Structure 1
Amino acid sequence: MNLTTIRRACFLVILLILAGTSTAQESSLLWKISGNGLEKESYLFGTIHIICKEDFLMDERITSAFDQTEQLIMELDMSDPQLPAKMQQVSINPGMKNLQSELDESTAKALDEFLINSYGAGLAQLGILKPFVLSSMVLLKVLPCTEVESYEGFFTTRASASGKPIAGLETVDFQVGIFDQIPQKIQLEELGKLVTDDSSKQDLEKLMETYQSENVDAMYEVMNSSGMVADYRVLMLDDRNKSWVPKIEEAMQSKSVFVAVGAGHLGGEFGVIALLKKAGYTVLPIQ
């Protein structure tokens, strides 16, 4: 695997693994933000960071809302030309340590075979990547399609074409640092399940189907029933949402913005929707 391929893999997989979970009282991926002294309406959209091209959900309701706004805000500034290189740099284990020796023999063999068949390189080369990156690389190949689409990529291209400025709520270092706070043993256990348990493909297909239905409550049931995301929800979702809302509020004071973040960040007691409502804004679903 060459350097360009590794960079692209790191770029995509970080997005996928941070997609998160969601819950809300009403079903919609697009929400209008108004009131509380805002002169212009803004919009909040829940993405799933990687999806099969044929399942990509995009309609006039979404594009119209996007085109009405003056700035695009995402988890990361996807227009940063240095982003892939930055992702690669922080996705490698300290000292380029290879994780192959940390896996039991059967799991290491299964993962090695999967990576060789999928990427043309096995653990001898790719074992230097952090566990969450390897997990995400596996998930990318479990998708039931050969062509994938990215909402972040779509919005970035559309914003750049129209001269709409783009901003990020976080940095790559911060996002990767989230996984550095989760014990490596737990991450390796999750990785092992992906290559030894056939249910991972069915789970991912179910997630894609649920996302298309815009039923965010059902997405919560699919994603947050068990596993690492459920166990570390405060770290991976709640705390981040709390840090995002003041930044979103500041941006909305002077302009109309389109906020596109993982659908998992929309719902729940500490979701972006609830936090914006608590701050005094009117947040309504656009169906």
Structure 2
Amino acid sequence: MKTFHSKSLIATIILFLLVLPVIANDVDEKSLLWKISGKGLKKESYLFGTIHIICQDQFFMDERIENALESTQKIALELNMMDPNMMKEMQQLSVNKDFKNIKGDLTADQAAALDEFLTKSYGAGLDQLGILKPFVLSSMVMLKMLPCEQQSSYEMFFVEKAKDRQLEMVGLESVAFQVGIFDEIPQKIQIEDLAKLVTDDEGMEEFESLVAAYLEEDIEELYSLIADNDMFKEYGDLLLADRNANWIPVIEELIHQQPTFIAVGSGHLASESGVIALLRKAGYTVEAVM
């Protein structure tokens, strides 16, 4: 079985939703949960870092997080996953222009390996699935490469919480915007990274290290494990910094309306251009909940 290639740009994007630039020196606490207060807020809101795919036996949800959820009145994710139109829109935006099949952009060996993997995992090969954008195929491949049969999603956990408590859920950005980020990355690069997923056997240990750092809530270690991604240096602003900056006015409006639980990819928390630092620069007190 081929393993996860953690140095792949697309792999990093999918698993940690567009991880980290430089870790700021004042964000050194080991925590995924942060309390937001000050600047006229009547009640605290919370910021939580997720990992988008994790084995079910590694999923954790402790009393701190549960209490933070119970004290808030709205949940904000990167995308509003309770929007009934989200899946339809995602499907429409996941197909290559003019239904172009990427099979012809792969070498014969790459195409054969990807076709075999997709057929074995999904019952359909490149002839059927090759019309999907490379980042979609990458996510499909990685889902089947995780070292477990059962996976869990923090985002879906929060969706169920919102349903149980009848809380409103909102998104910090739209599906069209998020998919559009990938459209700005040359497809050739995405295809090469997709091919690496099914042709390169290295990287499982690195993937396990990333998960271990997440479970230890060590955002600085997460950065050190992925900082050698050369392609991220070229697209870091597009993938992360610009999005963080775009989110701040949205978050400010939400937390001044009512206490909000904000859950985004853990890579968005740290760095001098991360959400924690930007909220502090905007005048809020942001403290780790240990």
Settle same-fold status: TM greater than 0.5: yes
Counterpart of 2:19 in structure 1 is: 21
Counterpart of 2:272 in structure 1 is: 269
CA distance in 2, matches of 1:221, 1:142: 23
Matches of residues 73-222 of structure 1 in structure 2 within 5 Å?
73-222=76-225
Counterpart of 2:4 in structure 1 is: none
Q: TM-score normalised to the size of structure 2?
A: 0.91
CA distance in 1, matches of 2:91, 2:246: 25
Runs of 4+ in structure 1 deviating by more than 6 angstroms, as ranges, are none
Counterpart of 2:239 in structure 1 is: 236
Counterpart of 2:5 in structure 1 is: none
Matched residue type, 2:141? V
CA distance in 1, matches of 2:280, 2:18: 21
CA distance in 1, matches of 2:16, 2:222: 15
CA distance in 2, matches of 1:136, 1:201: 16
CA distance in 1, matches of 2:85, 2:231: 29
**Shift in Å at residue 18 of structure 1?**
5.9
CA distance in 2, matches of 1:186, 1:254: 42
Q: Deviations over 1:177-202 (max 9, x none)?
A: 00000011111111111111112433
Counterpart of 1:33 in structure 2 is: 36
Q: Deviations over 1:203-244 (max 9, x none)?
A: 322221211111101111223321544431110100000000
Residue 214 of structure 1 aligns to a residue whose secondary structure is coil
Alpha carbons of structure 1 residues 18 and 171: separation in structure 2 relative to 1, 3 Å: farther
Q: TM-score normalised to the size of structure 1?
A: 0.92
Residue 264 of structure 2 aligns to a residue whose secondary structure is strand
Aligned length: 275
The worse-fitting range, judged by mean Cα deviation, of 240-249 and 23-32 is 23-32
Alpha carbons of structure 1 residues 44 and 246: separation in structure 2 relative to 1, 3 Å: same
Q: Which of the pair has the greater relative contact order for Cα pairs under 8 Å at 6+ separation?
A: 2
Residue 28 of structure 2 aligns to a residue whose secondary structure is coil
**Shift in Å at residue 245 of structure 1?**
0.6
Gaps of 5+ in 2: 1-10
CA distance in 2, matches of 1:250, 1:258: 13
Q: Deviations over 1:76-108 (max 9, x none)?
A: 001112222211110010111100001111111
